[in-house]
Structure 1
Amino acid sequence: MTVGINAPGRARVPVRNLRTDRWWLPPLLTNLGLATFVIYATGRSFMGKWYWVNDYHYLTPFYSPCISESCVAGSSHFGQWIGELPGWIPMGFLALPFLLGFRLTCYYYRKAYYRSVWQSPLACAVAEPRVEYSGETKFPLILQNLHRYFFYVAGLVALVNTYDAIVAFHSPDGGFGMGLGNVILLINVVMLWAYTLSCHSCRHIAGGRLKHFSAHPIRYKLWTVVSKLNVRHMQLAWITLGTLMLTDLYVMLVASGAISDLRFV
């Protein structure tokens, strides 16, 4: 049976859409935003330098945890478990695939790239180029159901990033120190936690499958907190892309000597 826009009973409209507003602008901006992050993050992940500031212990999140012998001295907060890596493997290989999986399977990002990249559909009342849709019941989209498991790993990575941010309170003489880099690292970690905990899977873990909230007051409280964050899940998804790039860019500029860290203590 013909489905989609050609299904029996659907109105036959001779043009793709009848909209006169700039309906194409939101998907265009989404594509540009996602492409900017993907290009920047890919380039930096494989650059292999300017990711660690030894004087202040700044480590970019794109290279954390750094666990190979390819990592510069001091940047391996959790030891060096494996030998030298070839250039085609990024030093943050342990976390990056799971973080990518977490973002790709995120409910908001699915909406974003389904509509903008796959054009399914581009906008309300705008026909999509394909006439069939099987949902997320077949390969490869059935893999979207792994989102909850990616969430667990993303939580562990957020803990690692938190440790990195704490270790960064360091001065060249070995004592306590604080600079602009610490502020940027902390803001990034706070935003990453907010995005991670606002995840729909986290909300379901906190309060899902409960018949009576009154019988589970602690889980109900957690559910209400996560629900408040969940309302901002879209905004947090974009904010964290920005804070990740800003944090990495700042660490890169300081590590390369292009700028000096603004020190407060």
Structure 2
Amino acid sequence: MATTDHGVTSPGRAHIEARTLRQDRWWQSPLATFVVFSGFVVFATIRAFMGRDYYATPYLSPFYSPCLGDCVEGASDFGQPFAWWPLSAALIILVFPLGFRMTCYYYRKAYYRAFWLSPPACGVAEPHTSYSGETRFPLILQNVHRWFWYAAVVVGLVLTFDVVLAFRPMPAEYALGDGETSGIHMGLGTLLMLVNVVLIWLYTLSCHSCRHVVGGRLRHFSKHPVRYRLWTWVSRLNTSHGRWAWYSLFSVAVVDFYIFLLATGRIQDVRFF
């Protein structure tokens, strides 16, 4: 007779009928992750498919950078090799930062617990009858994370370049009240983009794959002092990898939304000089 036991009553588990003996509010963390992460996915999906309101001189949304498709004037600093692309330009490049985050070791833990309940928390039984880990399709694709890390470094360099461009002098039509352009531009958007790119780099460089790239496969650290120093630095950053993951997620959304408000004329950029 086939068994229908699952979860805490599945074969091999301790004979405890309760789902967990924990008395704390263990469900708050996976619930918060589910709500926040779902909200970001909805927001990012809408913005990615909009295909407009992503550029407000001199700011380019990180969702559309680099803008390689049929982009608005001023948004393409690397040309438009995919001008024939019929959909939103964001869909050309978002696969790389998205793939990096979705295969990230920290994010795996976060969404495995919040969305798949595998397990929902430490000491809480999962409702699944079997577990194959990341050895089968589609989860075996998580092993490409290191290659997405290389792509994330390139994206980080492009976003850094965008920040540099955000400091460039403004055209005459965007001049300050005296009718003259300043030698350098500094606005609230510039600062937001700067903070965002710093958080992006902290998240990227604190990655477990980065730690392996700079210090992996070494038998004797003493023979590689430079790589050992880099490995030590990355290891320190790695202790806060989850924090940088969430901070950079919020900063990307904030920068994109701010540029959206500027592009649609809902607000004016706060200019410092």
* TM-score category, normalised to shorter length: over 0.9
Deviation at 1:109, TM superposition (A): 0.4
In 1, Cα distance between equivalents of 2:207 and 2:93? 18
CA distance in 2, matches of 1:83, 1:22: 51
Q: Which of 254, 258, 261 pairs up with 2:266? A: 258
Aligned length: 258
Q: Partner amino acid for 1:81?
A: P
Which residue of 1 is the match for residue 138 of structure 2? 140
Higher deviation after alignment, 143-152 or 74-83: 74-83
Q: 2-side partners of 1:206 and 1:67: how far apart?
A: 31
The whole-number CA distance in structure 1 between the counterparts of 2:115 and 2:216 is 32
Any conservation in 1 of the 2:49–2:90 contact (CA below 8 Å)?
no
Q: CA deviation at 1:3?
A: 9.7
Secondary structure, counterpart of 1:77 in structure 2: coil
Q: Which residue of 1 aligns with 2:187?
A: 179
Flag structure 2 segments of 5+ consecutive residues without an equivalent.
Answer: 173-180
Q: Does 1:48 align with 2:15?
A: no
Task: Please tell me the residue identity of whatever aligns with 1:62.
Answer: F
Does residue 226 of structure 2 align to residue 218 of structure 1? Answer: yes
List gaps (5 residues or longer) in structure 1: none
Q: Compute the displacement of 1:129 (Å).
A: 0.9
TM-score by length of 1: 0.93
Structure 1 stretch 117-126 or stretch 90-99: which is displaced more?
A: 90-99
Partner of residue 76, structure 2: 76
CA shift for structure 1 position 83: 2.5
Mapping for residues 222-261 of structure 1, pairs under 5 Å: 222-261=230-269
Name the CA distance, whole Å, in 2 between partners of 1:41 and 1:3: 36
Moved over 4 A (4+): 2-5
State the 1:11 CA deviation: 2.1
Residue 21 (structure 1) shift: 2.1
> Residue 168 of structure 1 aligns with which residue?
166
1:208 to 212, 216, 238: 216
Percent of pairs with identical residues: 54
TM-score by length of 2: 0.90
CA RMSD of aligned residues (A): 1.6
Opposite residue 82 of structure 1, the aligned amino acid is F
State the AA in 2 paired with 1:124. Answer: C
1:117-140 CA deviation, whole Å, 9 max, x = no partner?
100011122211102101111111
Counterpart CA distance in 2 for 1:125 and 1:218 is 41
What is the deviation of 1:20? 2.8
The structure 1 residue matched to 2:91, chosen from 66, 87, 93, is 93
Is contact 2:6-2:128 (8 Å) kept?
Answer: no
1:154 matched residue in structure 2: 152
- Equivalent pair of 1:65/1:77 in contact (CA under 8 Å): yes
The one-letter code of the counterpart of 2:235 is: S
Q: Distance in 2 between matches of 1:4 and 1:14?
A: 10
For the 8 Å contact 2:7–2:127, the answer to whether it is kept is no
**Following the alignment from structure 2 to structure 1, what is the Cα–Cα distance between the partners of residues 92 and 237?**
28
* Corresponding residue number in structure 2 for 1:7: 11
In the TM superposition, 1:86-125 aligns within 5 A as: 86=86, 89-125=87-123
Q: Which residue of 1 aligns with 2:42?
A: 39
> How many angstroms does 1:4 deviate by?
7.4
Q: Which residue of 1 aligns with 2:68?
A: 67
Partner SS state of residue 43, structure 2:
helix
User: Residue by residue, what CA displacement relative to the aligned partner does 1:50-94 show, whole Å, maximum 9, x if unpaired?
Assistant: 11113xx100000111112x21011001011123433xx331223
Counterparts of 1:13 and 1:206 in 2: how far apart (Å)?
45
| CA contact 1:65–1:94 (8 Å) conserved in 2 | no
